[in-house]
Structure formats: structure tokens, C-alpha cells
Chains A and B, each alone.
Chain A
């Protein structure tokens, strides 16, 4: 790992949810004093059983929720100090999202869905066309550009979602259980695609999963249990060695 500054710094972050709005002291801790850093270009999995706090952690890193305690720095910016408008700008410019249920806009074609983040950013039409074509090409869906989501398979929809997440060249791509609605073959293909984009384009990926089979090719795994980090495992060296041996 080089000495470049971390793209994400999670520092003693907790997130508590009130159980009863009338009783402020009654709450549940979805995340409890979690700390870790993510370097640019990393491919990181957040693993753990359902309810372990994976989605909460991704929401906090993705600036769609705020920690109850601690702070998160994204690309050097302390997100806990940002107002709603600046959070929106940060999400728009720095982060790409992939969701468990794809969350494509059903009335838009695949290309239009991919184009949407660029529209929000105010990118010109010609530039948008070029980038959409590149993004769809990179996920192998150029031929399906004109299809609406209901005419695509689950795997194809999620690849469109990945293309949408990377089209504006974010500093960070967050994927919350991206394979949960896919069969094993499509799930493996999607993880391979994300890994390929990570290596080819140098994009930082953080994704959550509770499927142990998908973690086999993941160089770093942060394991959560009951809102606490149970382990933070770097397997990059072993993976590189394994890949090197297979090439030999």
C-alpha cells in the first residue's frame, strides 16, 4: 500500500437509533465506535450477518446519514461538519452508489439511467453521450443501451447500476449488498466486474455482503458483528501470490 492519504477515514463512529421517539434514552446502537481507513484504489468488503450494521456504515460513509458520535472523512472532508446542501454536492461529485434492489428509474432506458448522474452534475450533452457509451461498454452492456429496466435480466440491471455508479468518475463507489438479489453465477460475475473496474480504472470500491463465497477474491474484508468491527483482514498479498501462481 502506498502512502497516499486515505479516501475514507472512519473515526470512532457510532450510530444510534431511537427506539421510542417519546423516550430519548431508549435506543439501539447500529454501529458502535467503528474505526478504519480506506486507501484510494482499495477493494473492500464489509461482511457480517444481517443486522450487523453493514448498511448503516455504508449510509454513513455515503453521506446519506450522519453519525451519532465520531466522524467520517471522505477524500479529506469531515462529513459531520457539512450541511445538507454540501452533503448533496459531495455525494453527487465524489460517490457512486449501487443498491441491493438495483433502484433504476423504470421509465428511463439503460443509457438514460447511466446518464442521470451526469445530468445532475450539469455535464454537457456531447460529453454525456461519450461517457455513457464508455460506462456501458465497461460493463459490457452497449447493446442493451436502449432497453428499459423491465426488459433486462437481474444481472444486467445491476451492471447498469454499476455503470451509473462509475459514469461520473467518483472517488468512491459504495455498493450495499449488490449481489443479494442475484443468483450465484450473476453474483460472482458482478463481483468480478467490480474488481475489474477497480483494477483497471483504479476506482475505490466498498461493498457490503453476507455471502461468504463472494469474499474469496476480496483483498480486504472488514467484518462487523452487532455494530462493532470484529476483524479487518488484508489478504491482498495472498491474492496477488495466488494470481501470480495461476499466471505461471
Chain B
């Protein structure tokens, strides 16, 4: 077997120029996939962290009821004893902080004009400790300990619609948990520009305590958990779930990926594009390798005839050709992975930037991530491609008529 492998190995380097061309082709395919896949991975990573740091957090805790029915009144499916739940969560490993939130809605009025708002009530200190900051176009963020009037951030579109600016006042009207109508006056301290026009036309954010006063409830909609790193999400979720089961009110835990709809859509789209690229590279390698391997087979017709004449089983010839192609694939993959990593390092060091993506104002850095799974996957793909490409030449070689093969010129 060792000799047979040696024969295959030496045959690979028999025609060096052709082998070099094949290695360049196979390696080029792997390199292309690594760079494209590495860039996509960087984008996914960036989008993931941006999604999480924009306020989604790594894990969110809701009541089980929250997903079973719509709220008939404000916070009717909210978390009762949320302080105890938050304290329990904070004791977990890798938990950086817990931020309570309330989602509410109602009408906002400037005295002469009213509009619908979608409100989010937060604990500014908790949000800040988790790195969640509002994207302000003017003004400042909410004060964790305001004195006097209720502070609010409103979306740029809502501010334009209501004709208000930082420092102006508005009145909020909302249904309380008991079904009564309640109202509070707010003072605008900042204008938010999220980049999503539909959201900015309705967005409003106030302090958690103010919202609870408005809604006449001590409940919160959910708890947002921030971790030391996204990589701990599964681990922490696994550890938290049984601990939350001990709470009086049934709570459910949602990981960021369960809630990140936009991220999943983007990832699905780009994964599809990458798969398409992979299929193209696969067939490119397959087709050109078939040609190369057929040429090699024709060149070695007499040699194959000699081996067959000496009593070599035909299956050995098939195995020999497939082994040679597989080795070529392995070498091509090694060349491709090495070149892909080197080029990746060079590109990352070059400081290359891409134009701003939609909704952003700053350039996007061009970075390539080194993903071991991608290297292994691309390598396996080209190796399989080469092995498949060798089937036709291998079978042809094994079926040669010995007498004709021996007289082949």
C-alpha cells in the first residue's frame, strides 16, 4: 500500500507544469472561497454584534404568556417579580448585566396635533452598562436619575411630524394596566435617528419608572441580558433556563438569534450567494480536472497496458487514478488555504474600506475572518471535486484493451 501511495504521489508530480496549473486552479478556487467566505463571516460577525449592541442583547426573558396571546391591557403579560428574576440572572457566569424594558404605545400630542407612538421604557444606567446607546442626531441620552420633568428621546420622523426639537414638551396618553386613560408631560432631551424611517416616525423612549407611573404597573415587558461575549450565549442560556423554572411566574428565555429577524434574513441571503459561489468553483474545478486527468490517462496508456499485462487488477488502476486526483486535491487545498490566509492577512493589513452600507454614514472596513470550518469545508469540496473528476478517466484507464494499450504511441 505504501508503494502504491508512493506511485500515486510521484505520478502527481510527473508532469510538473500541468500539476502546477492544476494546483493553481484548485488553489485559486479555495483561495477565492476563503476570501469571499471570510469577508461574509466578517459581515455576519459585525452585523451580529451590531444587532446585539443596538439593544437586542444576548438573551431576553419574557413571560410564557407573552408569546401565547396579545396583551389586552398594558403589561397584562408582563413580568411581575422582575427584580428577583434579574437578581437571579445577575449571579450567573458571564452575565455582564440585566436591563428591564417596557414596550408600550399610545398617543403623543403637542396641543394642536396628535400622533401614535411606539414607546420603549428603559433603565438608562442598566442600558449604558450593557453598552446599549441610542443613536442620537441631536441632544443627549436619558438621565439615569432625572429630577423634575419626565425626559424623553423621540425619533427624528416623529419630531418632524410633531414640529418639536430638543427642549420642547409633549404630552403622552396611554391606557393603564387597569384600562383607564392616563397622561404625562414629557420633555424632549434627544432626537434619535436609527436609519430606519418607519421606526423613527413612531419611536419614543422614556425612563422605566416614568413608564410604570404612566401605565400604573410595576411590571416590565422583558429583561434583556448582556453577556461578556456572544460565544457564551448557548452556555449561559443552558444554565439560566433551569434556574428560571423555579420562579413563581413561568418565564421563557429567548436567545438573540431567535429574535434577530433582520440578521437571519441577511445571513440567509449571503449564505445563498456563497453557496452559489461554491457550486461554481466546484464545477469549475470538476470540469477542468476531468480534462487534465484524461490527458494524463492518454499519456500513460502504454504504462497502464503494461501494468494490466503484469496482472494488475483493473480495480487497482481505478484506485490509482482516484488516489492521484485526491492527492492533487489535497495539495491544491493546502496551496489554497495557505494563499487564502496569506492574502487575508495582507488585505486586513491594507486598511481597505468599502463604501458605507445602507443606513450607515461611515465606511465599512474590509476584513477577512479566518474561519477554520470554512477552510475545512472548502478543502473537502475541492478534494471531492477532484476525486469525482477522476472517475471517468480512471474507469477509461481500467477498461483499456491491453494489446491496444501496449501498441499505443
Contact = CB atoms under 8 A, between A and B. Distances in A.
A91 B310 contact: yes
Interface residues of A, number: 29
Given A64-B402, A65-B403, A119-B4, A107 B11 contact: yes
Q: Shortest 10 CB-CB distances between A and B: which pairs?
A: A92-B311, A107-B10, A103-B306, A64-B402, A91-B311, A65-B403, A59-B403, A120-B312, A97-B309, A117-B310
Interface in B330-385: none
Interface stretch (A108-116, A194-202, A219-227, A229-237): A108-116
Nearest to B409: A101
A62 interface: yes
A103 B406 contact: yes
A88 interface: yes
Contacts of B407: 55
Contacts, number: 66
A99 interface: yes
Nearest to A128: B3
Contacts of B260: none
Contact of B406 (A64, A89, A105, A119): A64
Contacts of B306: 97, 99, 103, 105
Contact of A88 (B10, B303, B311, B403): B311
A117 B310 CA distance: 6
B188 to A, nearest CB: 82
Contacts of B3: 112, 115, 119
Interface string B297-321: 0000011011111111110100000
5 contacts: A99-B406, A105-B7, A106-B303, A107-B10, A119-B3
B310 A108 contact: no
B213 interface: no
B14 interface: yes
A217 B3 CA distance: 39
Nearest to B9: A107
Given A55-B407, A103-B303, A106-B14, 12 more contacts: A64-B402, A89-B311, A90-B311, A99-B306, A103-B305, A103-B406, A105-B306, A107-B10, A107-B14, A116-B310, A117-B310, A120-B316
Interface in B1-58: 3-4, 6-7, 10-11, 14
Interface in A151-193: 164
B14 A88 contact: no
Contacts of B309: 62, 64, 91, 97
Contacts of B313: 88, 120
B7 A107 contact: yes
A25 B374 CA distance: 61
B403 A64 contact: yes
Contacts of B14: 106-107
Contact of A97 (B4, B310, B316): B310
Given A64-B309, A88-B311, A91-B311, A101 B403 contact: no
Contacts of B311: 88-93, 95, 117, 120-121
Nearest to A88: B311
Nearest to A100: B406
Contacts of A101: 302
A103 B302 contact: yes
**Which residue, of A62, A89, A105, A117, has the highest number of chain B Cβ atoms within 10 A?**
A105
B108 to A, nearest CB: 83
B101 to A, nearest CB: 71
A115 B10 CA distance: 16
Contacts of B4: 119
A63 B408 CA distance: 18
A61 B326 CA distance: 37
A120 to B, nearest CB: 5
B11 A92 contact: no
Interface string B147-185: 000000000000000000000000000000000000000
A108 B7 contact: yes
A195 B210 CA distance: 112
Interface string B380-399: 00000000000000000000
Contacts of A106: 14, 303
Interface in B233-248: none
Contacts of A65: 402-403
A64 B302 CA distance: 13
Interface string A78-93: 0000001000111111
A211 B260 CA distance: 87
A153 B11 CA distance: 22
